[in-house]
Amino acid sequence: MQQLQLLFQNIHRVVTNYVNQPYKPLFIPSSVHINLTQKRFDLTFEIQKQDTVAYVQNGTHVHFYGPVHIRAHLAKAMRQFFIEHAKVHMTPLVDRHAQHMKLFYKNLRYKNQKSLWGSCSDLGNVNLNIRMMFLPQELCEYVIIHELCHLRHLNHSKSFWKLVSQYCKDYHKFEKELLLADKYIPKWIFRL
Ligand SMILES: [Zn+2]
């Protein structure tokens, strides 16, 4: 019993010592380049005693703190960072196309979708994948055009493709490229 108590004391000490220490997650690199903004962000991590992981951004340095050693918590915060980045930097691009095409969404949301680049609902809600930020610019813009066209045609009918071709003549090429576009996405993003 005493031994067990001693063991717990030791564990407690180890955990306590661990708090407020820099931490290096195994599955996340120390920097990430986002093609959409052509910026490289340095990522640092710190274990702190709190329920969820939060982050502060200072220019191109992003510091994550909280239970960063718990994978699910860290992944959630990383997703949030990408979603916020998309809201600030991708939404103006979407809106520019929407204005040009006169096709307006009701809500625009960003997600880390497993298999879809984007989706559109009959209520006029458009979802875009945060992974699009890693695609070459013209491919990213093609996905935006494609999803905005779904605001008029919720299918892949002839009328839909005709509308797409009005705004992107090379849509065949981009559709083909999208099938292989995972190569542009850093592998660890798939694990978030
Ligand atoms: Zn589609």
Q: Is 23 a domain residue?
A: yes
Burial zone of 117 (CB within 10 Å; 0-12 exposed, 13-18 middle, 19+ buried): buried
CATH for 153: 3.30.2010.10
Given a contact cutoff of 8 angstroms between Cβ atoms, the answer to whether 148 and 97 are in contact is yes
pLDDT in tens, 144-183: 999 999 999 999 999 999 999 999 999 999 999 999 999 9
Give the span between the Cα atoms of 55 and 39, in whole angstroms: 18
Q: How far is the CA of 75 from the centre of ligand 1 (A)?
A: 28
Q: Which of 10-14, 38-42, 44-48, 175-179 has the lowest mean pLDDT?
A: 10-14
C-alpha 145 – ligand 1 centre gap (Å): 10
Same domain as 100, residue 53: no
Domain assignment of residue 52, given as a range: 2-69
pTM: 0.88
- Indicate whether 43 and 98 sit together in one domain: no
Residues 6+ away with beta carbon under 8 Å from 159: 153
78 domain residue, yes or no? no
**Do residues 94 and 108 touch, judged by C-beta distance below 8 A?**
yes
Give pLDDT tens digits for 68-103.
999 999 999 999 999 999 999 999 999 999 999 999
Quote the ligand 1 centre to 150 CA distance (angstroms).
7
